[in-house]
Amino acid sequence: MTAAFKPKHQRLVLVILALLAILAAGALAAWALKNQASYFYIPSQIVSNPPDPDRGVRLGGMVKVGSLKTAPDGVTMHFLVDDGKAEVPVTFAGIAPDLFREGSGVVAEGHMMKDGTFVASNLLAKHDENYVPRELQDMTKQQARETVAETTK
């Protein structure tokens, strides 16, 4: 073992080793980020260009008024997320966040099914006046104001 490390060049060997490991980590991270990062969609984007079913994505929009239905089991919810141009049916089983209600903004984390429904594993709703999911902050700004006007009341 010792012979492999010419004593004089030990520092050089260590530096190269460290650089290689860091580079490998960086390359691996870059590759994994490309594949594993979950992208943010609004309903019109998801309808026109649906992501692969096995890919985790986030869907943000307004919960359409009158669309929220609870299944007979009492914990599965079906509702439509809407951005004024398109709407996506969403299914969520769980205890909804406290400020989740019809007409308010929501970010759903989950994935698209082949039949065009979005299965959410987690819902992020507006928490209070000071804490709004980042995606929603911008969305209300970007999206047509009338969407907000007609869906929030």
Phi and psi at 65, nearest 5°, equal: -65, 135
Residue type, 81: V
The candidate with the shortest Cα–Cα distance to 138, out of 113, 107, 101, is 107
Assess contact for 93 and 76: CB atoms under 8 A: yes
Q: Is 146 in the site for other proteins (CB under 8 A)?
A: no
**What distance in Å separates the CA atoms of residue 104 and residue 61, rounded to the nearest whole number?**
8
Name the 3-class secondary structure at 135: helix
- Of positions 28, 113, 144, 149, contacts other proteins by CB under 8 A: 28
- Structure tokens that stand for 72 in this block: 């007979």
Q: Is 27 in the site for other proteins (CB under 8 A)?
A: no
Query: Which is closer to other proteins, CB of 33 or CB of 146?
Result: 33
- Residues 73-132 close enough to bind other proteins by CB under 8 A: 73-75, 93-96, 98-99, 109, 122, 127-132
Q: Is 4 in the site for other proteins (CB under 8 A)?
A: yes
- Which residues contact other proteins (rule: CB under 8 A)? 1-2, 4-5, 7, 10-11, 14, 17-18, 21-22, 24-26, 28-30, 32-33, 36-40, 56, 58, 70, 73-75, 93-96, 98-99, 109, 122, 127-135, 137
